[in-house]
Amino acid sequence: MAMYGFLRVHTDSRKSPVFGNPVPFCFWKYLSSPILIIFTLTLGVFPHANAETRLARPVPDSQRLIIENNNLSADTFFTAYMSKNLMERRYAEMYLLGVLDATEGRVWCDYQHFKTITLAEVLHSGLSKLDLKQRESRAAHVISDILGKEFPCKGGKK
C-alpha cells in the first residue's frame, strides 16, 4: 500500500512497464462502467416529479369524501356507482364499503358466506328497481334494507 498525500492507494504486484514501480490499484477505472454511469446520471431524475398531485388539480367539493357528502340519496349513490367517471365510482364504492362494514353480521350475513360479485349484483338489481320515493331516501338505509331482505342473518346480531 502506498500513500499519495492523504489518500491510501493499494498497489498491484505488477510492475509499470516504463518506470518499474508498482502500479497503483486504481478504483477509478471501475467507475467508468456503463451501469455505474447510467446510475449516476439517473440520480438527478425523480420518478415522482411528473406524478399527479391533489394540489395541482383539486377535486371539486361535490366529489370529495367529506361528512357533508355522506348523506346521499339512493338515486345520487346509484348514479355515482354506475358512473363512467372512475373517481366518482371509487367514492361511491368507498361509501358502499362503509355501509357494508357497518351492517355486516347485524343486518345481513358476513362476507364469508357471499362473494363480492354476488353482493354487487344484488345491489345493482335492487337499486335499479327502486320507486321514486325510495330513490329519495338515504342510500345507507336503502342499501342495508336490500341486503337485509336478500341475505338475512338467521342468528340475529353477532
Residue 66 has a pLDDT of: 57
Q: Please check whether the domain covering 61-150 is classified as CATH 3.40.640.10.
A: no
Our measurement of the distance from residue 72's CA atom to the centroid of its chain's CA atoms, rounded to an integer in Å, reads 24
Q: What is the pLDDT of residue 145?
A: 93
Residue 50: C-alpha distances to residues 27, 53, 56, 58, 59 (Å): 36, 9, 11, 16, 18
This prediction's pTM: 0.55
User: 96 and 147 in contact (C-beta within 8 Å)?
Assistant: no
Question: Which pLDDT value is given to residue 108?
Answer: 84
Per residue of the chain (158 residues), what is the pLDDT tens digit? Answer: 455 455 555 555 555 555 555 555 555 555 556 666 676 666 665 555 555 544 445 556 555 555 556 678 899 889 989 989 888 888 888 888 889 888 888 888 877 777 778 888 999 999 999 998 999 999 999 999 998 898 887 755 44
- Write the Ramachandran bin of 118: left for phi over 0, alpha for psi from -120 to 50, otherwise beta: alpha
Task: Identify the pLDDT of residue 26.
Answer: 58
Domain boundaries, the chain: 2-42, 61-150
What pLDDT score does 55 carry?
43
